[in-house]
Amino acid sequence: MLLQKERLPKHLVITFREYFLHTQDLMNHKYFSRVLDTLSPGLKGELGVYTSGEWIHRVPFFQGGPKTEHTKFVTAITQHLSAMLFPPNETMIRRGDLTDRMFILSKGIVARLGKVIGKGNFVGEDVILSNGVRHYEVRTLTFVDAMVLTRAGLQAVLRGHFPHKMRKIRRASIFLSLARKMEYFLDELKFLRTSPEHTWSRGDETDWFRARMFNDHDLDLESSPLHVATQSVLAAQKALAAAVALDSTLHKRDDFFAVSTCVKASYTLLQDSCSRCHTGFDPSQHAHAPVHP
C-alpha cells in the first residue's frame, strides 16, 4: 500500500517487494542475536563455534592457537557481527572504499576480480590493514545475506586477552601490505601501457617493477648498484642473525618479523635481478644461515 501511495515506478515497486521478501532471514538473525545475549558464556561459546564453523575456518588469520583462546575469540567475534542484505547487481565494495569492514557471505553469490564467491566465504579481508583504501570492486550477482565485521569491532575483540590471535593478525597484515603494494604497482604499470609512448619490453617492465619495490625510482639495475644493494641486504641478514643469537625472544616480536620478512623478500628479488643482468655476482655464495622469524 505504501509503495502504491508513493506512486513509485513499477520496476521500483517490484525491486522493493523482492527486497522485503528477502529480509526475513535478516529479521531472524536480529531476533537470534537478542536470544543469544541471554545465554551463559559457555553456551555462547559452543553455539558461536558451531554457527561460525563454515566461514571462520576459511579466514587464515583467525586460525590456530590454544583451543580455549580460539573458542573465546570466535564467541567474541560473533558478538560483533551485524547482518546486511544486498540486492542483485549492487556494488558491495567500491574501488577507493576504506578498508573498514569485512563481509561474510551467509547466502548468495558475488563477483570479485572475475571470480565468483559464494556462501561460507568472505570478502574484504584487508579490514586488518589500517587507513587503507580498496583497489578492487565486489558486486552481487544475486540477493546476498552477509554478516559484517567492522575494524572497530575487530579491534574491540583484540583488546581482550587473545595473544596468539593478535600475533597472527599482525603478521598477516604485514604480508597483505606487501601484496597490496605489488597490486598498486601493477595497476600503475597497466596505466603506463595505455600510453602510445610506452615502448618497454617485458624485461624493461620487470626492471621498472623491481625498482619500485626497492623504493628507488631512479634505479636502473646496473651491475654496480645491484652489487651494492645485495651486499646491504646480506649485511642486514647478518645483523638480524647476530641479534637472534643474543636474544632468542626476538622471534616473538612483530617488528622483528616484519623486518626479517622484508629483508628476505628483498634478497629474493635481488637474486633474480642478478641472474637476469649476468653481473657475475652470485648472492648465494655470500649468504649465511637465514633468519627464521
Per-residue pLDDT tens digits for 177-224: 878 888 888 888 888 888 888 888 887 887 788 777 766 555 454 545
- Asked if 133 and 186 sit in the same domain, the reply is no
pLDDT 10s digits, 109-143: 999 988 999 988 899 988 887 777 888 899 999 88
Grid cell listed for 229: 644493494
Residue 259 counted as domain residue: yes
Domain around 258? 163-285
Does position 40 have pLDDT exceeding 90, yes or no?
Answer: no
- Asked if 176 and 206 sit in the same domain, the reply is yes
Average the pLDDT over 74-102 and give the result.
Answer: 87
Residue 291 counted as domain residue: no
Radius of gyration of the chain (CA): 25
Give me the pLDDT at residue 291, please.
Answer: 47
- Asked if 7 and 107 sit in the same domain, the reply is yes
Is residue 52 within 8 A of residue 77, CB to CB? The reply is yes
Average the pLDDT over 24-47 and give the result.
Answer: 65
The span from the CA of 274 to the CA of 234, in Å, is 14
Quickly state the pLDDT bin for 28 (edges 50, 70, 90). low
What is the domain-level CATH number for residue 67? 2.60.120.10
Structural domain count of the chain: 2
Does position 82 have pLDDT exceeding 70, yes or no?
Answer: yes
Whether the model pTM is above 0.95: no
- Asked if 50 and 105 sit in the same domain, the reply is yes
Quickly state the pLDDT bin for 288 (edges 50, 70, 90). very low
C-alpha distances in angstroms, 248 versus 21, 172, 240, 292?
59, 22, 11, 11
In the chain, the DSSP E strands lie at 82-86, 91-93, 101-107, 110-112, 115-117, 122-123, 138-140, 144-150
Q: What is the mean pLDDT of the chain?
A: 77
Order of strands, edge to edge, in the sheet holding 138-140? 91-93, 138-140, 110-112, 115-117
Does position 76 have pLDDT exceeding 80, yes or no?
Answer: yes
The span from the CA of 227 to the CA of 280, in Å, is 10
Residue 292 counted as domain residue: no
